[in-house]
Amino acid sequence: MQHTIKLKSNHGFEWIDLVEPTDEELHAMATSYQLHPAAVQDCLQPEHLPKYELIEDVQFMICRYYDSECPKNADSIRLISRKLAIFWGKDFIITVHRKSFEAFDEVAGRASAIDQPYVLICKLVKACLQTYEEPLQKLDAEIDFYESRIFLKKRIPDLLKNLYFIKRKTYVIRRISNLSKEIPEKLGVNNKRIPAYQDLKDYYIKLDTVIEEVYDSINSLMNIYISLSSQRTNEVMRTLTVFTAFFLPLTFIVGVYGMNFHYMPELNHPSGYPMVLGLMLFITLFIWIWFKRKGWM
């Protein structure tokens, strides 16, 4: 579907928005505005990563925005985000995407008050970045939730699985952010003093900082969880080792007297049985006192 948001006769440039275009519509638009075939081919790839290219007199950008309807356990770029392709020429802007999103619609709604195409491009790129703010807040809240449960040693079903999906989603968003860094950098060439660019740059730095904090938090939490799991395993092994140390000498004594040889020390002694029990009790107390002094109990 083709929609003209700004007319060249009224604003000096036109903005054409293509939502879920067919191959024929896209190629017809490419012919009319002399768009490079390679850039058009990139538009047709839903999994294409963020990029910036200057092809002759046309600047071509691919931004990725967060898909609010993605599955909860989505863990890939294609599942988490969608693509917005932007062609920016001397007197035109063409946007191509499969689905509208709220931040884009807000920019389109205020487009009549924007007379400079550069300002409009900066706001479109920022609109894509803004879509990651709310998901990052939710991820941060989930990390806080699981962190308190881990330290309080509360059992949570599929805890490690949930932590994995949080880490994967954070990693994908971090990767998209790193790949998107090229776009504001290239837009800033010779335009660093324009307020719209300053706003875009500041927002990108803020978002990138939040992403790194969330990514570091989930990595730290997973390391803590693994360490605590190892610690609990060590505590269980220590307890089993203590019980083994108690019963090993007792089992040895019982085993020796269970061989039923005719000639054995104290076998026929009237107090042989109490003496052996007393010896076993003495050994048990000795081991207990020794472990106490060593701090193993």
Tell me the per-residue pLDDT of 44-82, one tens digit each, with 9 for 90 and over.
888 889 999 988 888 999 999 999 888 888 888 889 999
Q: What is the mean pLDDT of residues 206-234?
A: 87
25 lies in the same domain as 127: yes
Distance between CA 88 and CA 257 in Å, rounded? Answer: 94
87 has a pLDDT exceeding 90: yes
Checking if the pLDDT of 125 tops 90, the result is yes
Round the average pLDDT of the chain to a whole number and report it.
84
**Mean pLDDT across the stretch 9-34?**
83
Q: How far is CA 143 from CA 68, 139, 154, 230, 248, in A?
A: 20, 6, 15, 21, 46
Would you tell me how many other CB atoms lie within 10 Å of the CB of residue 75? 16
pLDDT of residue 176: 94
pLDDT of residue 177: 93
| CATH number of 172's domain | 3.30.460.20
In angstroms, the CA 141 to CA 248 distance is 50
pTM score of the predicted model = 0.77
Same-domain status, 242 and 135: no
**Last residue within a domain, chosen from 230, 255, 278:** 230
35, with CB counted inside 10 A (0-12, 13-18, 19+), is: buried
Is there a single domain that holds both residue 270 and residue 161?
no
As a whole number, mean pLDDT of residues 93-112 equals 86
Residue % of the chain over a pLDDT of 70: 95
pLDDT confidence of 297, banded at 50, 70, 90? low
CA distance linking residue 43 with residue 89, whole number of Å: 16
State residue 241's pLDDT score: 76
pLDDT of residue 136: 94
Last-in-domain residue among 230, 254, 277: 230
Give the integer Cα–Cα distance in Å for 126 and 118.
12
pLDDT in the model for residue 112: 79
22 and 169 co-located in one domain: yes
Question: What Rg, from alpha-carbon coordinates, does the chain have?
Answer: 34
What's the pLDDT at 249? 80
- For 278, which DSSP code? H
Give dist(CA 102, CA 225) in Å, integer: 37
Range of the domain at 262: 238-294
User: Do 253 and 158 share a domain, yes or no?
Assistant: no
Residue 163's Cβ-count burial label (10 Å; 0-12, 13-18, 19+) is buried
> At what angle are helices 133-151 and 159-180 packed, to 10 degrees?
150
Q: Are residues 177 and 91 in the same domain?
A: yes
pLDDT tens, position by position, 150-194: 887 777 777 888 898 999 999 999 999 999 999 999 988 777 778
Angle, in degrees to the nearest 10, between helices 117-130 and 195-257: 20
**Helix, strand, coil proportions of the chain in percent (round to 5)?**
60, 15, 25
Cβ neighbors of 21 (< 8 A, separation 6 or more) are 1, 2, 29, 96
Q: Which residue has the higher pLDDT, 138 or 290?
A: 138
User: Residue 212 has what pLDDT?
Assistant: 94
User: Are residues 176 and 243 located together in one domain of the fold?
Assistant: no
- Mean pLDDT, rounded, for 186-206: 87
Token pair of 183 as six digits: 């776009």
Residue with the larger pLDDT of the pair 108 and 253: 108
For the chain, the domain total comes to 2
Q: Write out the two tokens for 119.
A: 């300002």
How high is the pLDDT of residue 296?
66
pLDDT the model gives residue 9: 65
Q: Indicate the DSSP class of residue 251.
A: H
Confidence category of residue 252, pLDDT binned at 50, 70, 90: confident
Q: Which long-range contacts (CB under 8 A, 24 or more apart) does 174-177 make?
A: 174/211, 174/212, 174/215, 175/77, 176/49, 176/50, 176/64, 176/77, 176/80, 176/81, 176/132, 177/132, 177/204, 177/207, 177/208, 177/211
| Structure confidence at residue 235 (pLDDT) | 73
Task: State the CATH number of the domain containing residue 278.
Answer: 1.20.58.340
- Domain boundary residue, one of 230, 251, 277: 230
Most confident of 201-215, 248-262, 279-293: 201-215
Residue 183 near residue 106 (C-beta atoms within 8 A): no
Q: What is the pLDDT of residue 266?
A: 67
**Do 74 and 156 belong together in one domain?**
yes
**For residue 278, what pLDDT is reported?**
80
Same domain, 41 and 91: yes
* The two three-digit tokens of residue 269, written as one number: 């002694």
The answer on 145 and 24 residing in a single domain is yes
Closest CA to 61 of 181, 154, 142: 181
Q: Who's near 135: CB < 8 A, 6+ residues apart?
A: 66, 169, 173
Do 218 and 276 sit in the same domain of this protein?
A: no
Check whether residue 167 and residue 283 sit in a common domain: no
The reported pLDDT for the residue numbered 95 is 92
